[in-house]
Amino acid sequence: MSSIFTKIIHGEIPSYKVAETDSCYAFLDINPLAEGHVLAIPRKEVDYLFDVDDSIYSDLMLFSKNVALAIRKVIPCERIGVAVIGLEVPHAHVHLIPINAIHDIDFSRPKLSFSELELQATADKILEAFESA
Ligand code: 5GP
């Protein structure tokens, strides 16, 4: 059975897309720790990040960097924190989270809630920054 993230890539489940390339896709996390909390994933479904083959792993890391630069351009923050957890969804993904302090990337904190309009506006501005880089 396909992962939730494969269904997102195929448009079977909606997502707020912020960037895509031939091998990778990025979208807003549904339960964000911060405005602009993004998940960057390889299109190819592999559960564990360190089982991803070298070529796609390299693509994903470079993609994550470029998405982080786009987020940083449009979301005021000190820097973009990076985390890999993977305990919930068995499809490798990199969390990119705007942070100002260490607790901003604490996954045990309550998640934030934004309206659909706010999420769309956030996704649109990251996508625009990514595509104009
Ligand atoms: P992890 O596997 O890294 O522990 O957590 C998976 C992450 O994916 C969580 O932050 C969760 O909010 C996010 N997530 C789970 N299901 C969905 C979904 O259907 N859509 C989106 N946009 N994010 C999801």
For the Cβ of 82 lying below 6 angstroms from any atom of ligand 1, the answer is no
pLDDT tens for the chain, 133 residues: list them: 899 999 999 999 999 999 999 999 999 999 999 999 999 999 999 999 999 999 999 999 999 999 999 999 999 999 999 999 999 999 999 999 999 999 999 999 999 999 999 999 999 999 999 999 9
Where in the chain are the domains?
A: 4-132
Q: Based on the number of CB atoms within 10 Å of its own CB, is 73 exposed (0-12), middle (13-18) or buried (19 or more)?
A: middle
Architecture in CATH of 4-132: 2-Layer Sandwich (3.30)
Could you tell me the pTM of the whole model? Answer: 0.98
Give the model confidence (pLDDT) of 16-53 as tens digits. Answer: 999 999 999 999 999 999 999 999 999 999 999 999 99
Which residue from 49, 89, 119 has its CB within 8 A of the most atoms of ligand 1, so it is best to mutate?
89
Is 93 one of the catalytic residues? yes
Q: Note every long-range contact of 99-106, with CB atoms under 8 Å and residues 24 or more positions apart, other chains counting.
A: 99/34, 104/33, 104/34, 105/33, 105/81, 106/33
Could you tell me the distance, in angstroms and rounded to a whole number, from the CA of residue 29 to the centre of ligand 1? 6
Choosing from 37, 91, 93, 95, the catalytic residue is 93
Q: Are 27 and 38 in contact (CB under 8 A)?
A: yes
